[in-house]
Amino acid sequence: GAGVSQSPRYKVAKRGQDVALRCDPISGHVSLFWYQQALGQGPEFLTYFQNEAQLDKSGLPSDRFFAERPEGSVSTLKIQRTQQEDSAVYLCASSLANRVDNEQFFGPGTRLTVL
Amino acid sequence: AQKVTQAQTEISVVEKEDVTLDCVYETRDTTYYLFWYKQPPSGELVFLIRRNSFDEQNEISGRYSWNFQKSTSSFNFTITASQVVDSAVYFCALSEAAGSARQLTFGSGTQLTVLP
């Protein structure tokens, strides 16, 4: 069965470039989450969507980070003017319903390296 | 604010040994959920278990067992008769029921290495 997919799996960017990371959640999943995982650390929450509505973006580290999910399915995380501290694995997760006890299914992540 | 602490950064055991991974959490909510995820070298987080704050029964699933103790705010994970395939990073996570937040708060993870 199809799980959460993310593309690209690896992205190398020069400092100052803009990048776009894509997430395809499991079909029918209402909730979608983005997390940032630095090397040797646990994932940290960035933002959360319920269908197309971005309900929480409190974890976005700066206004250079922007996420959208215009049709309530695929989501894109955009980082403008990338900096070296943006280097991390970006994980996307989806869950079936908007419930706090719902299991989140994670994608394989996009490893971003900013040179 | 919620917080999850996994004090053990790395653990190394020999195959067939039992191993316990510790997790301590902080939350002001009375209703919350605790999770364990496994992250193998491939990088994808794999769900293992979910417990709610009102259910303190310990759970066993095959070689895995979980000990939830509200009195000490701990949710420890034991692997019995470890195998090489258990080698991975294990994360404990918390979500709170209050408000509209639905995100998981993760600990920093424990790298488990099982040697043959």
Q: Are B37 and A103 a contacting pair at CB < 8 A?
A: no
A1 — pLDDT class (breaks 50, 70, 90): low
pLDDT at B99 over 60: yes
Q: pLDDT tens across B3-19, in order?
A: 999 999 999 999 999 99
Confidence of residue B102 (pLDDT cuts 50, 70, 90): confident
- Using an 8 Å CB-CB cutoff, list chain B residues near A109: 43-44
B109–A41: do the CB atoms touch at under 8 Å? yes
pLDDT (average), residues B79-89 = 96
Asked if B79 is an interface residue toward chain A (Cβ–Cβ < 8 A), one would say: no
Whole-angstrom Cα distance, residue B19 to residue B107?
18
Pairing of strands A110-114, A10-13: parallel
pLDDT for residue A45:
95
Residue B111's pLDDT band (cuts 50, 70, 90): very high
pLDDT in tens, A64-108: 999 999 999 999 999 999 999 999 999 999 998 777 777 899 999
Cβ of A56 and B107 within 8 Å? no
Q: What is the pLDDT of residue B101?
A: 67
Judging contacts by C-beta atoms under 8 Å, the chain A residues touching residue B46 are 106
Q: Which of B6, B52, B104 sits opposite A104 (nearest CB)?
A: B104
Q: Residues with Cβ < 8 Å from A15, sequence gap 6 or more?
A: A82, A83, A84, A114, A115
State which residue of chain A sits closest to B96, comparing Cα positions: A100
Best residue of B102, B104, B108, B110 to probe chain A, by most A CBs closer than 10 Å: B102
Min Cα–Cα distance to chain A from B86, Å: 18
pLDDT at A39: 92
pLDDT of A12 reads 98
- Report how far residue A76's alpha carbon sits from residue A34's, in angstroms, rounded to the nearest whole number: 10
Using CA atoms, how far residue B63 sits from A19, A31, A84, B59, B60, in Å, is 43, 32, 42, 11, 7
Average pLDDT, chain B: 92
Integer CA distances (angstroms), A31 to A44, B83, B112, in order: 17, 35, 31
DSSP collapsed to 3 states, chain A: CCCCEEECCEEEECCCCCEEEEEECCCCCCEEEEEEECCCCCCEEEEEEECCEEEECCCCCCCCEEEECCCCCCEEEEECCCCHHHCEEEEEEEECCCCCCCCCEECCCEEEEEC
The share of chain B scoring above pLDDT 90, in percent, equals 74
- Whether residue B100 has pLDDT greater than 70: no
The 10s digit of each residue's pLDDT in B23-68 is 999 999 888 999 999 999 888 899 999 998 988 888 888 999 999 9
- Per-residue pLDDT tens over the stretch A33-51: 999 999 999 999 999 999 9
Encode pLDDT of A11-36 as tens digits: 999 999 999 999 999 999 999 999 99
Tokens 């206004």 belong to residue = A63
A31 at the B interface (CB within 8 A)? Answer: yes
B5 and A CB contact within 8 Å: no
CB contact under 8 Å between A43 and B106, yes or no, is: yes
